[in-house]
A and B are shown apart, each in its own frame.
Chain A
Amino acid sequence: MPQLLLELFSEEIPARMQGQAAKDLERMAREHLAAAGFLPEALKTFAGPRRLTLVAEGLPLAQADRKEELKGPRVGAPQQAMDGFLRKAGLTQDQLVEQNGVWMAFVEKKGRPTAEIVAEMVEAIVRGFAWPKSMTWGTGKLRWVRPLKRILCVLDREVVPFEIDGIVSGDVTEGHRFMGDAKPFVAKDFDEYAAGLEAHYVVLDVEERKERILEGCKTLCFARHLELVEDIGLLEEVAGLAEWPTPVLGDMDPSFLDLPPEVIRTSMRTHQKYFAVRKPGEAGLAPHFITVANIEAKDGGKVIAAGNAKVLSSRLADARFFWDEDVKTGFEPWLAKLEGVTFHAKLGTMAQRVDRIVALAGEIAPLVGADVAKAKEAARLAKADLTSQMVGEFPELQGVMGGYYARHFGLDAEVAAAIEGHYKPQGPSDAVPTAPVSVAVALADKLDTLVGFFAIDEKPTGSKDPYALRRAALGVIRIILEAGKRFPLSEVLKPAHARAHEAATAGLWRFKATDEGKLVEGGPVLIDETVVRDLIAFFADRLKVTLKDQGKRHDLVDAVFALGDDDLARIVARVEALDGFLKTDDGKNLLAGYKRASNILKAEEKKGPLPEGQAEEPAADSAAEVGLYQALRLLDRPLKDALAKEDFTDAMAQLAELRGPVDAYLDGVFVNDPEHRDNRLKTLAAVRAAMGLVADFGLVAG
């Protein structure tokens, strides 16, 4: 079956956009082909520095012919209706047949040639492609990520003819910019294309480019008895920067090794896109780097290595300069500068934020077993490095540099660790601070952020979370769950709210609106209890997501949350116990019993208020009633004991005792017996209440 090959050849596509572009191209092509009735046997796309490529296997050369039935006007309908129908359908009246009183047309639709459909598809894709940023060039109006130079489009080895804003489709493409003969070549199918690219020094597939880079790095390392510091993000990026990626190892002046390794790595990574290397088994870096060039140089890469080494040296010399300047300056002048740093236009300065974090860390410290004075001191210094030269150059080293400088100045080790770690965790794989002083500052930092942005109504929406509030809330959750001490969420939210309230009433937090480019003062931010309520709901959502990620059922999380508890550790323990219980036979059956009892209660509730009070002991001759009555009585104490001890597994085991009696009761007792109705409803309500101490089983699915 025929094959379609499409290549959109352009000037260099930003590395960060290539992966999504390959996905978008595949999706758009599949949609277009499906709309035309084609289902390719295989379809694959590739993206690289200068090209997007698509190959689809197993397309017919034309659409199948189709029979279409068109329903016309009713027989005897006015002539106007008939004329309208004929005009629209492009038919004459003699082509219609009468069927059940309606004029029908049976039209044979010739399938269109696939080439025509492909030509339309490519034009639609090119014109509708959703690049994050696109541009026009020259005198044209066409938009692409960078100037689009050529379109190769062959179907079954024949060029699919079309033209898009002056770019005429063909069967020619180009290889590497500098290597090989740099002459365009013809490719009539994917095999010729792939072979041609290889011969012209282009690795088409990003996965192969990544492998080539890793292999090359490892070979270089092996020869020098070094080990690559792997960096997946960097690998992705450099694989999008070279068509013929060729790692080259360069030497770094070893005198720079006295800089913090984070500084060296960040400088290598962000400015130069180099991989770092180390001696096998050693933690620190080795005085070399690997850059990924786009050519196999004539001299084996000597000039490239030397040039890059020189650039790195000047970068690291800058870093050394920043370090030297910073240690000459120190924390107090940095803190003074924070007064001139805006945290957020509506939330005042960074210095004011530090004041709040200090107060908050002091209040949280006793809860987490931290020394109050140390927590406050660490909070006071935590943001100082933001105005250091090094963090000015490498914002991603905030905190890390504060920690280095704190140790350099001989500050308390716990304080230094808290300064360093207070931004943590910065993602799901990042570690959580556990030292008490670090915990206090990390919580204070995140809670101040959360309360502030909730107060000015900058809550995350959909995929938008510009202030990383979800990450902050998740950080709070993880820190609390992993901290040694237990306390309810409200214990830390209340002081955070109080500090925010002070800031707002003092007029430090203000709305500022832009009016034709000029900042205009608005009224002070108002903070009320809804902020705390919204925040607790936000935390609940984040916890649900976390538990769901761990494979816990969404409904179980809801069932536990419904109890209104805000002790995160207890919530998690309950969900875990509930999850285990519902996997047992007793659990499943008891849940079914609960639902039946609950349905009866709900139905009766509609008729009027349920009877209140304790059920009376039933007549001795009703075994099922006596059984449940006794079971409930026996359950009461041990269930409450288990809950008090927070032994939720035991609590579930206690509930399991109800399973038999509940089943027997529901099967054998007619609740709505006029004589016993009240007492029987009270019994069922008692079952619901007892189970409700553990979770809201009504929210459990099943």
Chain B
Amino acid sequence: MPAAPKSFQSLILTLHNYWSEKGCVILQPHDVEVGAGTLHPATVLRALGPKPWNAAYVQPSRRPGDGRYGENPNRLQHYYQYQVILKPNPANMQDLYLGSLEAIGLDLRTHDIRFVEDDWENPTVGAWGLGWEVWCDGMEVSQYTYFQQVGGLDVSPVAGELTYGLERLAMYVFGVDNVYDLPFNDPDSPLGALTYGDVFLANERQQSEANFHGYDVAVLKQQFEQMEEQVPLMLARSYKNETLVLPAYDMVLKASHLFNLMNARGAIAVAERASYIGRIRDLCKMCAQKWVELQEAA
């Protein structure tokens, strides 16, 4: 067994190696801002339709409202999720998951691992599933879900999804209390050790200010509405009988991020929230529908 990881990046590499060895496609992050790894088309869209799909990737996730100007040791407006999707979920998926914890250095006879009921849902993409929060010594280290619906459509076969909150997991594995103190690369690097703070603190500070005060609400709103208009138009186009679902879905993601920015700016009244979420869900459903049609036709 290779040595347990010593840094944030080696934790990621260990997971990549582990899931690669298990046969997953190792993808790179999607290049559109998203609020969670689930929203990557490799999960939301690939979870739909009959074709098998097994992938793992890191996804930078943005939650504009969670920014704390780099002053809170646990909260970030930009962080990493490690995402695994296995479709259909293999019968031994729990064992595979537990193997990944061992790979990153958690001894399952020393640590207390428990599967605690947690029914996951994401209303903006019309998705829900049953599963657990996985606890390690009382801390939630992963979300484990068997998707039942995505984009408002029943899934068959069922995809199993694993989401690891990488910073939190790393803080636990390395015994670090402040996320900015995490060793980003090898602490003994001959080129100089860098912490998470060295890499990301400036980003947290600047983005927090932009999220809370910088963005022009009127512009955000206008952009949101443009995206919303564009989605059905894009879905009406096709190339060699293939509907342009993937570009349309990117627009849904953009709309979703614009909504999150407006929300962080305090520009969305409580009563409006549900209606915005409904609008995004409708767009997502349109994409999901078209995607399934493509998959079934192929």
Contacts and interface: CB of A to CB of B under 8 A. Distances in A.
Interface of A: 11-12, 14-16, 49, 133, 135-139, 145-147, 149, 177-179, 241-242, 248, 272, 274, 291, 293-295, 297-299, 303-304, 306-308, 310-312, 314, 340-342, 517-519
Interface in B95-114: 98, 107-114
A147 B115 CA distance: 13
Contact of A308 (B109, B131, B138, B148): B138
B171 to A, nearest CB: 9
> Main secondary structure on chain A at its contact with chain B?
loop
Nearest to A341: B270
Contact of B158 (A138, A306, A307): A138
Interface of B: 74, 88-91, 94, 98, 107-117, 119, 129-132, 136-139, 146, 148, 156-158, 160, 172, 177, 269-271, 275, 278, 282
Given A138-B88, A178-B109, A342-B270, 4 more contacts: A135-B158, A136-B158, A138-B157, A308-B137
A298 B112 CA distance: 11
A291 B160 CA distance: 29
A135 B136 contact: no
Contact of B111 (A146, A304, A340, A342): A304
B148 A15 contact: no
A311 B139 contact: yes
Contacts of B90: 138
B109 A297 contact: yes
A303 B111 CA distance: 7
B109 A135 contact: no
A370 B165 CA distance: 54
Contacts of A341: 270
A303 B114 contact: no
A140 B110 CA distance: 35
Nearest to A289: B138
B295 to A, nearest CB: 15
A342 B271 contact: yes
A619 B115 CA distance: 90
A298 B117 CA distance: 26
9 cross-chain pairs, A with B, having the tightest CB-CB distances, nearest first? A307-B137, A14-B117, A12-B115, A308-B138, A293-B112, A139-B157, A135-B130, A311-B138, A138-B88
Contact of A307 (B89, B136, B278): B136
Contacts of B148: 135-136
A453 B211 CA distance: 40
B50 to A, nearest CB: 9
Among B98, B119, B130, B282, which residue has the most Cβ atoms of chain A within 10 A?
Answer: B130
A139 to B, nearest CB: 4
A12 B98 CA distance: 14
26 contacts: A11-B94, A12-B132, A15-B116, A16-B117, A49-B115, A133-B130, A135-B129, A137-B146, A138-B90, A139-B158, A146-B146, A178-B109, A178-B113, A179-B109, A241-B116, A295-B108, A295-B112, A297-B109, A297-B110, A297-B112, A304-B112, A307-B136, A307-B138, A308-B138, A310-B172, A342-B271
B119 A133 contact: yes
Contacts of A178: 108-109, 113
A274 B138 CA distance: 9
A341 B271 CA distance: 9
Contact of A294 (B88, B91, B107, B114): B114
Contacts of B111: 297, 303-304, 307
A325 to B, nearest CB: 12
A226 B112 CA distance: 24
B114 A241 contact: yes
A484 to B, nearest CB: 42
Contact of A340 (B89, B139, B269): B269
Contacts of A297: 109-112
Contacts of B116: 15, 241
B218 to A, nearest CB: 22
A146 B114 CA distance: 15
A193 to B, nearest CB: 23
A58 to B, nearest CB: 36
A149 B139 CA distance: 27
Contacts of A517: 275, 278, 282
Contacts of B275: 517-519
A403 to B, nearest CB: 26
Nearest to B111: A303
Nearest to A321: B72
A11 B138 contact: no
Given A135-B129, A342-B271, A518-B275, A147 B107 contact: no
A297 B138 CA distance: 14
Nearest to A518: B275
Contact of B137 (A135, A304, A518): A304
Nearest to B91: A138
A306 B112 CA distance: 11
Nearest to B98: A177
A15 B174 CA distance: 31
B48 to A, nearest CB: 15
Contacts of A137: 88-89, 146, 158, 160
Contacts of B177: 310
Given A340-B270, A517-B278, A139 B136 contact: no
B150 to A, nearest CB: 14
Contacts of B74: 314
A291 B138 contact: yes
Contacts of B137: 303-304, 306-308, 311
A200 B119 CA distance: 30
A14 B62 CA distance: 31
A191 B241 CA distance: 64
Contacts of A311: 137-139
A11 B115 contact: yes
Contacts of B156: 136, 139
Given A12-B132, A136-B158, A308-B138, A294 B113 contact: yes
Contacts of A518: 275, 278
A304 B160 CA distance: 28
Contacts of A312: 138
A299 B137 CA distance: 13
B117 A294 contact: no
A16 B119 CA distance: 13
A312 B270 CA distance: 32
Nearest to B74: A314
A171 to B, nearest CB: 20
Contacts of A14: 117
Nearest to B109: A298
A148 to B, nearest CB: 10
B180 to A, nearest CB: 15
A319 to B, nearest CB: 13
Contacts of A291: 112, 138
B146 A147 contact: yes
Contacts of B94: 11
Nearest to B73: A314
A669 B95 CA distance: 91
B233 to A, nearest CB: 22
A213 to B, nearest CB: 14
B110 A299 contact: yes
A11 B156 CA distance: 20
Given A133-B119, A314-B74, A298 B110 contact: yes
A255 B94 CA distance: 39
Given A11-B115, A135-B129, A241-B114, A149 B91 contact: yes
A295 B271 CA distance: 47
Contacts of A149: 91
Contacts of A342: 270-271
Nearest to B92: A149
Q: Which of A11, A298, A307 has the most CB of B within 10 A?
A: A307
A146 B157 CA distance: 15
B108 to A, nearest CB: 5
Nearest to A306: B137
Contacts of B98: 177
B141 to A, nearest CB: 10
Nearest to A241: B114
